[in-house]
Amino acid sequence: MTPAQLSQTVLRTVRHAVADGELRVPVPERVAVKRASRPGHGDYATGVALQLARPAGLPALGVAGILRSRLAAVSGIELVEVSGPGFLNITLADGSGAALVRDILRRGTAYGHGDALAGEHIELAFPGETRAAVTADALRRVLRSQGALATIRCTGPVADPGWAGLRVSLDTGTIPGAPGADGRGDPRGPVADARARVGAAPGRLTVRPVPVRASADELLRTLGADAARWALLRPAAHDHPRLTGDEHDPLLVQRESNPLFRVRYAHARACALARNAADLGVESLPGDLGTGDGSGGPGSPGAPAGPSSARDLLAALREYPAVLDAAARHRAPDRIARHLEQLADAFFRFHDACPVLPRGDEKPGAAHRARTALAEATGTVLAGGLLLLGIDAPAHL
């Protein structure tokens, strides 16, 4: 992609963001891009977010977050990072996915988190009903991943003590996960202090998905916390969850037909590959993924990322930040669950087509190291997505 083509790509991205209502600005006639001036800051940089911030009535970092999510999903662009007051640093794709994988491994489960909603204070109010409580809790996690100050409050007369078993906690003055709460997670401290910093009264959003008739205790008894949260969050808010409440419930069956099992097994398999690679002395090192036949040789002409399964997996990883951004803006955690299913399926296709580890007397090669890194990155993203849904990601199943 030439600088002129990249400039047009950024301009189209702005135009689409305006058409979709995410930005309310006059579309500029042109967008300037220039070669990155410092190593490690991508191939090109653009200050378009700073240019649009004032007419959009948003902080430059907020505009950059919107454009970053969209640009990261464009074919030919491997990585988009925000630096300084809102510059977009763009790395062009070389076909290997190495920069993307390296970025995921560097950021860990925070990959895809951003500042697009920084400065927004959102109070999620929900009635005293179990699905609404779980949905509000998941939305709080997702909104915070995009920089918002989000709190939840039950508007019902009495909070169900069983919600705690479903990992739902109400805000009572301290952000769960902040220092002083359990010593981990959100470093912003008490809710009151964070409110003072955003400097505005919260926008209130009522969370009211289609309710379920089962109580929290019933769901915990029949499904357990992880399967119950998945069952409540995976359908869109206007859809009815499928809950059979017996030992034959599809969410309790450890097989491919169970989407939650598929997602968690993909994570566990990625963890197992990383462990086995370490035992074999195979280093996790992003690079050329090879042909997919285990030879470790270079990819075929025109397909430097190896077989289509590798390209599909890289595309799903690349799309993840945009999915988080959309889930936050549309208040739809179900989007994350569906994307995790797609990511898990892409991983299994890659796993079957591209042997990650050497076989028999085969010596480890560059492709094995790159595939190990890709598997590790996939497991990292799956764990991060499950964490936002409030679901455990065990390393062993």
What residues does each domain of the chain span? 3-93, 121-244, 259-388
**What are the strands, taking DSSP E only, across the chain?**
34-35, 44-46, 77-83, 87-92, 121-126, 149-154, 203-206
- % residues pLDDT > 90 (the chain): 48
Residue 196 has pLDDT above 60, yes or no: no
Q: What is the four-CA torsion angle of 82, 83, 84, 86, rounded to 10 degrees?
A: -20
Residue 321 has pLDDT above 60, yes or no: yes
Q: What is the CATH number of domain 3-93?
A: 3.30.1360.70
Phi, psi of 175 (to 5 degrees): -70, 120
Residue 152 has pLDDT above 70, yes or no: yes
Average pLDDT, the chain: 84
Region of residue 133 (left: phi > 0; alpha: psi -120 to 50; beta: else)? alpha
Task: Write the class of the CATH domain 259-388.
Answer: mainly alpha
In whole angstroms, give the CA distance from residue 327 to residue 205: 15
Reported as a single tens digit per residue, the pLDDT across 224-240 is: 999 999 999 999 999 99
Residue 354 has pLDDT above 80, yes or no: yes
Reported as a single tens digit per residue, the pLDDT across 231-271 is: 999 999 999 988 765 444 566 666 778 899 999 999 999 99
Residue 105 has pLDDT above 90, yes or no: yes
What is the pLDDT, as a whole number, of residue 227? 93
Determine the average pLDDT of the residues in 180-207.
Answer: 49
Q: Do domains 3-93 and 259-388 have the same CATH topology?
A: no
Q: Which range in 100-109, 301-310, 316-325, 374-383 is most confidently predicted, on average pLDDT?
A: 374-383
What is the pLDDT, as a whole number, of residue 180? 34
* CB crowding 279-290: b at 16 or more within 10 Å, else e: eeebebebbbbb
Determine the average pLDDT of the residues in 35-45.
Answer: 74
Half-sphere exposure of 293 (CA within 13 A, CB side): 6
- % residues pLDDT > 70 (the chain): 83
- Helix, strand, or coil (residue 152): strand
Counted residue by residue, the chain has a size of: 397
Determine the average pLDDT of the residues in 345-368.
Answer: 91
CA 298 vs CA 95, 287, 328: distances in Å = 11, 11, 40
What is the pLDDT, as a whole number, of residue 159? 83
Determine the average pLDDT of the residues in 120-128.
Answer: 93
